[in-house]
Amino acid sequence: MTVDDLGRLSEDDARPPHPALTAELGQAELQITGRLLQASNATFLAELETDGNPIECVYKPLEGERPLWDFPHRTLGLREVAAYEVSRIGGFDCVPVTVLFDGPFGPGSLQVWVEVDEAATNKLVDLVPSSAVPQQGWFASVEGFDANDHPVSVIHADIADLRLLAVFDVLINNADRKGGHILGSAGRVFGVDHGVSFHTDHKLRTLLWGWAGCELNLRELAAVRKARDEAPDQLGTLLSDREIAALVRRADLLLTRRRLPRPRGEWPSIPWPPF
């Protein structure tokens, strides 16, 4: 059995805990410090005062959600929390701590802010001239033209943690895995913005198609099975019964086929814009 077969489990276990995975978000005073104006829904930067040590967070009140035609209104924050629970329970450890919180603008999701390593993040997903796509260690997922009609490509790295995030996205049926939702921090890979996940219909849209059709390794299979067996009991207040049943079906398909899916064709497979 090779290191690749194990998905580098021993290396991952040796890494120090990341504060975005260990912070405790209790019911304390939340102070709004700013707003992310580029977000499509009301999204606020905030600090949670806990024992004199403020924790930087992202607060998304349910009342600030823009209605969508295909998702029930005021459920996106619940899906953000559900994504964290699946990540935590399965051991994917790719979503920062996220809880339901009754903040200044009402109940919503509260997620620990990730201190982004820009250099590391740029090594995960990038936009490059099509003639400069690296021959090894990267996949090209989208090709197009820039403002000057020069061919460009969106590329993503071929690394174990990013691939685990791709498996996670299949499991939660993530309809919006943009490049800007993938963060590198302290040697780890995080995904954020999971409000449009867990639909009962197939809606997977992602930039991470480089491993399409590849066989799952032991690390990935173990994470899917643990989430399948243990997460449904924790999601009853966050998702509908049908959405939980659909999550179990997707897990069973992954465990039976033991391969990452390929784009189906009946639904756009790439989010737009890609970043």
Is the domain of 167 the same as that of 228?
yes
Q: Are residues 113 and 132 in the same domain?
A: no
Average pLDDT over residues 19-46: 91
Mean pLDDT along residues 26-38 = 89
Tens digits of residue pLDDT in 77-128: 999 999 999 999 999 999 999 999 999 999 999 999 999 999 999 999 988 8
Q: What is the pLDDT of residues 118-166, one digit of tens each?
A: 999 999 998 888 888 888 999 988 787 777 788 888 889 999 999 999 9
Give pLDDT, residue 142.
78
User: pLDDT digit string (tens) for 177-226?
Assistant: 999 999 999 999 999 999 999 999 999 999 999 999 999 999 999 999 99
Q: Per residue in 42-89, pLDDT tens? A: 999 999 987 778 999 999 999 999 999 999 999 999 999 999 999 999
> Which residue in the block uniquely carries the two structure tokens 């805990």?
17
CA 220 – CA 94 distance, rounded (Å): 13
Do 21 and 151 lie in one domain? The reply is: no
- Residue 150 sits in which domain range? 125-157
Q: How far is CA 29 from CA 33, 48, 54, 113, in A?
A: 13, 6, 10, 16
* pLDDT at residue number 168: 98
Shared domain for 58 and 144, answered yes or no, is: no
Assess contact for 219 and 8: CB atoms under 8 A.
yes
Do 110 and 194 lie in a common domain? yes
Q: How many domains does the chain have?
A: 2
* String of DSSP letters for 157-188: E--HHHHHHHHHHHHHT-S-B-GGGEEEETTE
Q: Are residues 134 and 21 in the same domain?
A: no
Tell whether 98 is covered by a domain. yes
Q: Are residues 75 and 197 in the same domain?
A: yes
Query: Does 109 share its domain with 137?
Result: no
Q: Same structural domain for residues 175 and 148?
A: no
Give yes or no for a contact between 21 and 189, defined as CB atoms under 8 angstroms apart. Answer: no
Residues 233 and 165 in one domain: yes
Is 169 contained in some domain? Answer: yes
Helix (H, G, I), strand (E, B) or coil at 80: helix
Query: Which pair of structure tokens corresponds to residue 119?
Result: 């250099």
Q: Are 259 and 215 in contact (CB under 8 A)?
A: yes
Ramachandran assignment for 268, one of left (phi > 0), alpha (psi -120 to 50 degrees), beta (any other): beta
Contact 42/59 with Cβ under 8 angstroms? no
Same structural domain, 134 and 203? no
For residue 93, give every residue at least 6 positions away whose Cβ sits within 8 Å of its Cβ, in sequence order, or none: 18, 21, 87, 188
Residue 270 lies in a domain: no
In a domain, residue 198? The reply is yes
Task: Give yes or no: residues 88 and 16 share one domain.
Answer: yes
pLDDT above 90: percentage of residues in the chain: 73
Does residue 263 lie within any of the structural domains? no
Question: Going along the chain, which residue ranges are E strands?
Answer: 30-35, 44-50, 53-61, 98-103, 106-112, 125-129, 138-145, 151-157, 182-185, 188-191
